[in-house]
Structure 1
Amino acid sequence: MIVRPREHWLRMLFIWRGSVLPRILPQLAAVTGIACLVTVVHGQLYHLKVPLTFVPFTLIGIALAVFLGFRNSASYDRYWEGRKLWGVVLGESRTLARQILTLPHAVDAPEQRQAVLTLAAIAYALRHQLRRSDAAPDLQRLLPPDVFEEVRAARFAPNLLVLKVARQLQGWRQQQRLDALPATEMEPPLARLTDAICGCERLNSTPLPYPYSVIMHRTTYLYCFLLPFGLVDAIGWTTPLMVAFIAYTFFALEALSDELEEPFGTSANDLPLAAMCVMIETTLREMLGGEDLPPAMEPVDYVLL
């Protein structure tokens, strides 16, 4: 996620880091080069004049802008839903930690501490599952060796860890160290935590329909590559400038939609899952008494992972 202060309006025009310009620069340069060539030959191919005007591009451009805006909205909805789901993970982890840490003294403090650290491990396991990375280093320092060995090779480690917490609460209840009422009150946060995990898995495994992306991609590129032929007779030598501006708008919208569509990735505009996990671990360790707080993650070159 890009984290940087709001810049002066003039400086905003020249910002490189945090925009999608580095990603679309090659195709933008190609379109501008074609526009320059079309301007030089005045829209002729082998002495054959291409009979295009700006009228069809006006109609198609309006429709294309509407469809790109719709796709961008759909992608942002996925991004914002992912952020809300991780907000649920944070909130329910805090709720369960508070409930565990305020249990009667019949439950030993080391057991309470390990249950709270398991909640932090759930967040790390979910992050690594969504990003298909190795969760072993984070889980090893938060979990007992036997639990770590059990979940390290699991495909759905967050779900297993939620089950571990539920079984630990069930064990306390069977040993009569936990009353029925507190045990009942802990079930809804566990259920909401499971729902949040399932929601993240749903977003991660169900992208926007691929044919829709292909249609938008083809239409955008064909429009921008043919646009110089429709403008050159009307605006002459300014054709490359206008084509570059219009192509930048359409290419940037498409590139931004692609990044927002997968909110759990590692691109610059995706959710900062690593920073969220550190925040969850920090808040839970503070509830334990502020022991071994992890260092806060800072943006690197304006990017927070």
Structure 2
Amino acid sequence: MSSNVPIPRRAFVRQSLSTLAAIPFAGRAFAQGGAALAEHIEFRRLVAANRILARESVVDAFGHISVRDPDNPRRYVMARSRAPELVEHADLIRFEQDGRSLDPANRTPYGERMIHGAIYEARSDVNSVVHNHAYSLLPFSVTGRVLEPVVHVASVIGTDIPTWDIATRFGETDMLVRTMEQGRDLTAALGRNSCALMRGHGAVVAAASIKEAVMIAIYLKINAEIQLQAMAIGTPRGLSDREVELSRATQFSPLALDRAWEYFCARAGVEPI
């Protein structure tokens, strides 16, 4: 007869992480698939980030995250076209900045990878990019109401969050960023900011690392939810530029960033790499 005695959460997390650590990583399966990527801590972290963003409902079946190739800054790495929650190391593909796949297996890539390539091309300070369709962001993308940081943990989103409208330059489309020309136009709207909204579509996040990109993407969504709730009560008071500056430095400190990463990894059931 099985026992119904509950396992304390702390013990459960330790047990789960021990089990994950004992499982051979999927790098060998990736090599057997004929692709050229070897194991690298950034690639393992990229897989974890896919799972985290899915667990936190930043992405669902759609959306993606990439990392600048640590072996060649003019290239980047992201998964093949697959729901982020299902991404494994074996799914990772290396791309040129213009979106050309270097995958020997010729697997189907994400159609909107040009978002990533265009940002890496223009922003040497960016090493990870997220594109998502988090639903709490969409009201701000279609109303002209400014999305602004209203809570200190969301200071990581920055003070300016522009909205890009694909129709302004490209007319009526299926709303997807399919060309480098469209990706560069989006990147121009993003400017030097950490994130931008895409009218009726979603958002893009640009950061110095995978950990920072994940934190920004998660708290961008949370901030939108809180701001929407506050707007139902009254007029929200956003953080001042100085408050954003100071809080952002705290949130991106190694102590806070690693603490958040470990927490998000535990929630997603992945090893905190």
Q: State the TM-score bracket (shorter-chain normalisation).
A: under 0.3
Alignment TM-score, normalising by the size of structure 2: 0.23
The structure carrying a bigger helix percent of its residues is 1
The structure carrying a bigger strand percent of its residues is 2
Higher relative contact order (CA 8 A, sep 6+): 1
Q: Radius of gyration: which is bigger?
A: 1
